[in-house]
Structure 1
Amino acid sequence: MRIARLRTYPVPPRWLFLRIDTDDGLVGWGEPVVEGRAATVAAAVEELGEYLIGQDPRRIEEHWTVLARGGFYRGGPILSSALAGIDQALWDIAGKALGVPVHQLLGGHVRDRVRVYSWIGGDDPAEVAEQAAAKVAEGFTAVKMNGSGALRLLDTPAAVHGIVERVAAVREVLGPERDVAVDFHGRLSLAMARRTLPLLEPLLPLFVEEPVVPEASDLVGDLTAGTSIPIALGERLYSRWDFRRVLGTGIAVVQPDVSHAGGISELRKIATMAEAFDVALAPHCPLGPISLAASLQVGLASPNLLIQEQSLGIHYNAGSDLLDYLVDPAVFEYADGFVARPTGPGLGIEVDAAAVERAAATGHRWRNPVWRRDDGAFAEW
């Protein structure tokens, strides 16, 4: 078996799919993308793919090592995301070649189903209580919300209390038997985080995500030492070496993204490293069905999995959504806040290749917004 072709497909709302064909007819799918930089990642996939043509797709660790390190300059979101999609597709081929799901190749499943959470609100949260009630009615037992809109480096008491009031409104809807996670997207300065987190403690968030920008991740120990709230981070870290810097800071949850952090191979290694620090795994995944399927395969084989993000109905998915590119959407049916273990070969999904071709003809030019503070200065989105 040899790799014959790689082809990328930019599909709405903001995703990039990769198809790898082998000379004996097997097809593997991956999702290599940096949101807002899909064309750049597609170019990186094309360059990396030159090495793979004619190679045995089952030598996954060998190919990962060469593609990650063979170009001398390594790491970062573009190259790591391109590699991530390739790696996912190679694992998909390996599972299909043997007729087993990827998690069986990773040592077998350690759970029968995976808890998932759903997003509420948008980038600038409002009316989150009403949306939380809708998710409860749909059967979800956990939701995640953005904690704030744009913030000053040290914002007003009104801004701080506004954050607390929105989370409190969601907590009131959820009650004590369900969970709310609060994402700050790196919008807090360290000082703002120290001011805000103690006020959120009585509401017992499942975790607070990315309170500060990833450039300050090595300073997060200053926050974890001063709060009982579990701190989660990692969606903008791209390798086990990046995570090595933060695993000793007292964080509770790592959130590597299988489409950014080197794929299934690297996600599994990051999960195992985190387990040694008594840190839970909650893979970041606001992306498409291939990324979710790959995340689930790792989570099913990881003893320290906490919960899985998924994008059905997320505010970014206007016009296209998670299930639109699947032959059988039932693989991602949620019941009581869980998704059942996929048992199909490879990633466990069947991508609708015709739907992907049609969507790629339209493509997308998604860009994240650029925010400004009230004085005109740049603000973290």
Structure 2
Amino acid sequence: MGKIASIEYFRLPPRWLFVKITDEAGNFGWGEASLEGHTQAVEGCLDAWIERYVGFEAEEIEHIWQMSWRTSFYRGGPVFMSALAGIDIALWDLKAKKLGVPIYQLLGGKVRDKLKVYAWIGGDRPSDVKTQALARKDQGFHSVKMNGTEDLGWLDSPTALHDCVERLKTVKNLGMDAGIDFHGRVHKPMAKQLAKALEPHYPLFIEEPLLSEHLEGIKALSQLTSIPIALGERLHSRWDVRPFLESGCVDILQPDVSHCGGISEMKRIAAMCEAYDVALAPHCPLGPIALAACVQVDATCSNFAIQEMSLGIHYNAGSQDLTSYMKNPEVWSVKDGYIELLKGPGLGIEVDEEMVRELSKNTKAWVSPGFIGPGGEIREW
């Protein structure tokens, strides 16, 4: 056993928040508490918990998780659960490193040796989509995810539906699969039409076809289409997930390990999904620590389907991606649509602490650019 000696956090480009926990013997672990556009709020929550948890036993991960949840009274939500995720992931990394094993060995052991993965592509024109999809194919990916549409209001032109179908067909013609992300931007009148238009072209899934606030709308849409419905990045605990499972409106659950309370809670969510015959496909357009944490859970889940990862061309040229802040970036090599399990102790990645400390000195918090509609109205980002 060893008591927590320090908890530190580091604000980093492009929009990440890393957490380091060190015990009195010098053992340490890394976590990620990234919450895009809300960095300062998460940091405030971490400040409060740093005062509280220094001196706690670092190996008592579940005790600290339950202390965070049950003694807070006001709990849940993206800020609280992202801060908790940073601490939880770091504690798992610390404990597994002390024992000299990957985290998945402490979660019951692996059920697979490699993981199917996909990456994001942008572009609103078929030519742009083709260029980016080919770049992903060159990286080793067989599957991608892309925008369903730049924007769809309550009642937009049917040509927008046609453009989305053409982008999907472009990817399929390259011999690749594609998930279509609606981003919760599409309102129900258009979402019904778009799902029907996409159906003959067999997308992997449609993601957030409506905002997660509209459970009944998602349920109604799920009964109108055979396309698998995916969602979950804006569900922050097993209690948030439960009504979607009970309503039978989700086929693929996409929890984000940095938004849903960390490894501990994502493992519990995965088990709930299995009971409802729902696949696990963790959301992760974030940093290497978050992805490594996802991999540890994915390795142990029989209902795992596919893992999102942000490699290389996800961000603007010259900015940070998965290979940043790491001494062993080769672990993210994609081959035939898969990555190998991480074999090192803990998370299985080696964080470049010197680089983390240097780049965190003057990093400003990332702010969402928002999304303005053609009439000047604010729409979903």
Q: TM-score range by the shorter chain?
A: over 0.9
For the residue of structure 2 that corresponds to 1:215, the secondary structure is coil
For the residue of structure 1 that corresponds to 2:174, the secondary structure is helix
User: Are the aligned partners of 1:28 and 1:93 in contact in 2 as well (CA < 8 Å)?
Assistant: yes
Q: Could you tell me how far apart the structure 2 residues matched to 1:346 and 1:135 are?
A: 29
Q: Could you tell me how far apart the structure 2 residues matched to 1:250 and 1:322 are?
A: 32
Shift of 1:133: 1.9
Q: 1:83 to 1:139 in 2, by over 3 A?
A: same
Match of 1:280 in 2: 279
Shift of 1:380: 1.1
Shift of 1:134: 2.1
User: Are the aligned partners of 2:280 and 2:305 in contact in 1 as well (CA < 8 Å)?
Assistant: yes
Match of 1:299 in 2: 298
Q: Could you tell me how far apart the structure 2 residues matched to 1:229 and 1:173 are?
A: 20
User: Are the aligned partners of 1:107 and 1:301 in contact in 2 as well (CA < 8 Å)?
Assistant: yes
Match of 1:189 in 2: 187
User: Are the aligned partners of 1:125 and 1:149 in contact in 2 as well (CA < 8 Å)?
Assistant: no
Alignment of 1:53 with 2:51, yes or no, is: no
For the residue of structure 2 that corresponds to 1:97, the secondary structure is helix
User: Are the aligned partners of 1:282 and 1:306 in contact in 2 as well (CA < 8 Å)?
Assistant: yes
Q: 1:122 to 1:106 in 2, by over 3 A?
A: farther
Match of 2:218 in 1: 220
Match of 2:264 in 1: 265
Alignment of 1:137 with 2:135, yes or no, is: no
Shift of 1:126: 6.7
Question: What is the CA deviation profile of residues 315-360 of structure 1, one whole-angstrom value per residue up to 9, with x for unaligned ones?
Answer: 3355111111011111222211111111111111111100101110
Q: Could you tell me how far apart the structure 2 residues matched to 1:133 and 1:329 are?
A: 22
Match of 1:333 in 2: 333
For the residue of structure 2 that corresponds to 1:361, the secondary structure is coil
For the residue of structure 1 that corresponds to 2:227, the secondary structure is coil
2:265 maps to a residue whose letter is E
Match of 1:39 in 2: 40
1:330 maps to a residue whose letter is E
Q: Could you tell me how far apart the structure 1 residues matched to 2:358 and 2:158 are?
A: 50
How many corresponding residue pairs? 378
Alignment of 1:379 with 2:379, yes or no, is: yes
Shift of 1:12: 0.7
For the residue of structure 2 that corresponds to 1:173, the secondary structure is coil
2:225 maps to a residue whose letter is T
Q: 1:287 to 1:125 in 2, by over 3 A?
A: farther
Q: Could you tell me how far apart the structure 2 residues matched to 1:218 and 1:57 are?
A: 42
Q: 1:133 to 1:283 in 2, by over 3 A?
A: same
Q: Could you tell me how far apart the structure 2 residues matched to 1:141 and 1:88 are?
A: 29
Alignment of 1:210 with 2:211, yes or no, is: no
For the residue of structure 1 that corresponds to 2:94, the secondary structure is helix
Question: What is the CA deviation profile of residues 47-100 of structure 1, one whole-angstrom value per residue up to 9, with x for unaligned ones?
Answer: 122221111111111110110121110011000100011000010011011111
Q: Could you tell me how far apart the structure 2 residues matched to 1:328 and 1:169 are?
A: 34
Q: Could you tell me how far apart the structure 1 residues matched to 2:280 and 2:125 are?
A: 26
The normalised TM-score by structure 1 is 0.96
Match of 1:360 in 2: 360
Q: 1:126 to 1:260 in 2, by over 3 A?
A: farther
Match of 1:247 in 2: 245
Question: What is the CA deviation profile of residues 258-312 of structure 1, one whole-angstrom value per residue up to 9, with x for unaligned ones?
Answer: 0000100000000000000100000000000000000000000011000000011
User: Are the aligned partners of 1:150 and 1:372 in contact in 2 as well (CA < 8 Å)?
Assistant: no
Structure 2: gaps (5+ residues): none
Instruction: Give me the identity figure in percent.
Output: 49
For the residue of structure 2 that corresponds to 1:211, the secondary structure is coil
Q: How does 1:82-97 map to 2 (within 5 A)?
A: 82-97=83-98
Q: Could you tell me how far apart the structure 1 residues matched to 2:343 and 2:38 are?
A: 33
1:251 maps to a residue whose letter is V
Structure 1: gaps (5+ residues): none
For the residue of structure 2 that corresponds to 1:302, the secondary structure is coil
The normalised TM-score by structure 2 is 0.96
User: Are the aligned partners of 2:171 and 2:177 in contact in 1 as well (CA < 8 Å)?
Assistant: no
Q: Could you tell me how far apart the structure 2 residues matched to 1:162 and 1:28 are?
A: 46
1:145 maps to a residue whose letter is M
Moved more, 20-29 or 328-337: 328-337
Q: Could you tell me how far apart the structure 2 residues matched to 1:106 and 1:257 are?
A: 18
User: Are the aligned partners of 1:125 and 1:145 in contact in 2 as well (CA < 8 Å)?
Assistant: no
2:372 maps to a residue whose letter is R
Structure 1 vs Structure 2 CA RMSD: 1.5
Q: Could you tell me how far apart the structure 2 residues matched to 1:67 and 1:198 are?
A: 44
Match of 1:98 in 2: 99
For the residue of structure 1 that corresponds to 2:184, the secondary structure is coil
User: Are the aligned partners of 1:218 and 1:245 in contact in 2 as well (CA < 8 Å)?
Assistant: no
Moved more, 73-82 or 355-364: 355-364
Alignment of 1:199 with 2:197, yes or no, is: yes
